[in-house]
């Protein structure tokens, strides 16, 4: 099942230094800059982006290419 998180949340970019560890948290999401899909930084159900750069479940995300990930903060609309 695919859920478009943009219909539920309003996303704001987070200042993030290149090469630094990506932030995590309940309101932090990762946007794949290649396919533009958004995945939670701590997904409790299986989630992935279209191109496979972000894959997560059980509270952890595997990132294949961190250079193609933009951290964003999600707030309910």
pLDDT in tens, 43-54: 999 999 999 999
62 contacts 56 by C-beta, under 8 angstroms? yes
How far, rounded to the nearest angstrom, does the alpha carbon of residue 33 sit from its chain's CA centroid?
10
What pTM did the predictor assign?
0.92
pLDDT in tens, 33-45: 999 999 999 999 9
Tell me the CA distances in angstroms from 38 to 14, 41, 54, 68, one per residue in order. Answer: 14, 9, 9, 12
* pLDDT of amino acid 16: 86
Whether residue 5 is predicted with pLDDT greater than 80 in this model: the reply is: yes
Whether residue 23 is predicted with pLDDT greater than 80 in this model: the reply is: yes
């Amino acid at each position: 099942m695919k859920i478009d998180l943009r219909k539920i949340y309003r996303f704001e970019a987070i200042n993030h230094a290149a090469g630094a560890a990506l932030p995590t948290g309940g309101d932090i999401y990762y946007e794949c800059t290649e396919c533009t899909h958004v995945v939670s930084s701590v997904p409790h159900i299986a989630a992935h982006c279209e191109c496979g750069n972000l894959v997560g479940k059980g509270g952890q995300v595997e990132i294949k290419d961190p250079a193609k990930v933009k951290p964003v903060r999600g707030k309910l609309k």
